């Protein structure tokens, strides 16, 4: 088994061979994990949330669901949900402009930058930021179709486990969102924390 | 004023200069209009639904909302909704694989192909199919986060109107979906019909 720590506000790429399992854990709880996956043989094929939910007919990932690529091919199966379904597939990966939108006008770490850096370490330039699966992220769509984000209830040690259905390069970002935005507390009020990755 | 007919199951590109308005009408009603937009100076910048809804905090486009690009820049304002809010931003553009998923294993016209053909006529190869805004498309997210598509109630003559906030190339596809899938009646039961585009 390979274990990798994703430091708070950083990202890491990890290769997961077909049949292997990837577990992502939030040791301290309530830490959003932005998750991206690419076909290891062709990084032009990536996990697509819209293609996934229009096939699962559910905007939340559930145990047993299969994450599809933008070509609608099976990439990973969500085999175990140790976080009670508190996940999101709607929030675009944060980037510098997102922080500026919330009034932060200095450079800020972001999931988009983390993705691009992690993939460069693997030898690839990613020029399109896919819609991530945001594990351990508490969003809901209310009756007026509004996107709301109540406080994050994910417990320390919560995890998700996926099985690769093709050889994939996965990127996991510890979402650096730390602005005190009323009604939009993505992570714990105690700050951004690390994630753990286990591949076996 | 320029008026263009988008024949049933086909797509058309139309250039809309900053300050001009584009109206899309479903003359017979209940015809899904897949809508894509690209920065006319750089087609690498396109309208992004996830970046739009995470800023409007609503997964439905509403009068006054601004459609943002994947770089979070304003592209178009939704100035008039003549279809009572019956629109979708969740359903990935149909493609050959979508029809195969529903059991149709022969070639089938699709919004993805329509987009690519329309953009080739403008001189561009589109290699990433963006998540479209699907006007006149009736989807809802139920209390279990499931994506459902009740029968399409959009009246004949319903329309939407947008104002361009930058020079854009817009592509509108008359969604060719015509499979009799129980619980997933995207268009009218009477079949796929044309759309009208007015630019002024």
The residue of B113, B145, B148, B149 whose CB has the most chain A CBs within 10 angstroms, and thus the best one to mutate to test that interface, is B145
| Residue of chain B minimizing CA distance to A50 | B92
**A17 contacts: CB under 8 Å, gap ≥ 6:** A164, A167
Domain extents in chain A: 2-199
Query: Once rounded to an integer, what is the mean pLDDT over residues B182-188?
Result: 94
Q: A19 in contact with B at a CB cutoff of 8 Å?
A: no
- For residues B149-168, give the mean pLDDT: 98
Q: Which residues pair with B174 in a beta bridge?
A: B33
Search chain B and give the residue with CA nearest A97.
B72
Q: Which residues pair with B26 in a beta bridge?
A: B158
pLDDT of residue B42: 98
Q: What is the pLDDT of residue B125?
A: 98
Give residues 113 to 142 of B whose Cβ lies within 8 Å of A.
127-129, 131, 141
Q: Is the pTM of this model over 0.95?
A: yes
Radius of gyration of chain A (CA): 15
Q: Does A72 touch chain B (CB under 8 A)?
A: yes
Q: What pLDDT does B43 receive?
A: 98
Which ranges of chain A have pLDDT less than 70?
Answer: none
Helices (H), A102-175: 111-121
Q: How far is B75 from chain A (nearest CA, A)?
A: 15
Is the Cβ–Cβ distance between B6 and B31 less than 8 Å? no
| pLDDT tens figures, A152-163 | 999 999 999 999
- pLDDT at residue A57, as a whole number: 97
Task: Calculate the average pLDDT of chain B.
Answer: 97
Assess B60–A contact: CB distance below 8 Å, yes or no. yes
Query: What is the reported pLDDT for B12?
Result: 98
In percent, the amount of chain B with pLDDT more than 90 equals 100
Contacts of A115 in chain B (CB under 8 A): none
Contacts of A120 (CB under 8 A, 6+ apart): none
The yes/no answer to whether this complex scores an ipTM above 0.90 is yes
């Amino acid at each position: 088994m390979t274990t990798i720590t994703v430091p708070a506000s950083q990202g890491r790429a990890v290769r997961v061979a077909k049949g292997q399992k990837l577990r992502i854990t939030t040791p301290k709880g309530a830490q959003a994990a932005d998750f991206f996956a690419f076909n290891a043989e062709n990084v032009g094929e990536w996990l697509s949330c819209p293609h996934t939910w229009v096939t699962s007919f559910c905007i939340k990932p559930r145990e047993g669901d299969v994450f599809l690529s933008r070509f609608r091919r099976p990439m990973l199966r969500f085999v175990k949900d140790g976080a009670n379904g508190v996940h999101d597939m709607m929030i675009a990966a944060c980037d510098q402009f997102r922080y500026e939108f919330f009034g932060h006008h200095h450079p800020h770490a972001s999931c988009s930058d983390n993705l691009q850096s992690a993939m460069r370490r693997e030898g690839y330039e990613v020029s399109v930021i896919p819609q991530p699966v945001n594990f351990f992220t508490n969003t809901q769509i209310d009756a007026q179709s509004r996107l709301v984000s109540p406080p994050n209830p994910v417990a320390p040690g919560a995890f998700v486990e996926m099985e690769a259905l093709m050889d994939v390069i996965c990127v996991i970002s510890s979402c650096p969102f730390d602005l005190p935005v009323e009604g939009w507390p993505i992570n714990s009020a105690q700050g951004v924390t690390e994630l753990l990755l286990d591949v076996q």
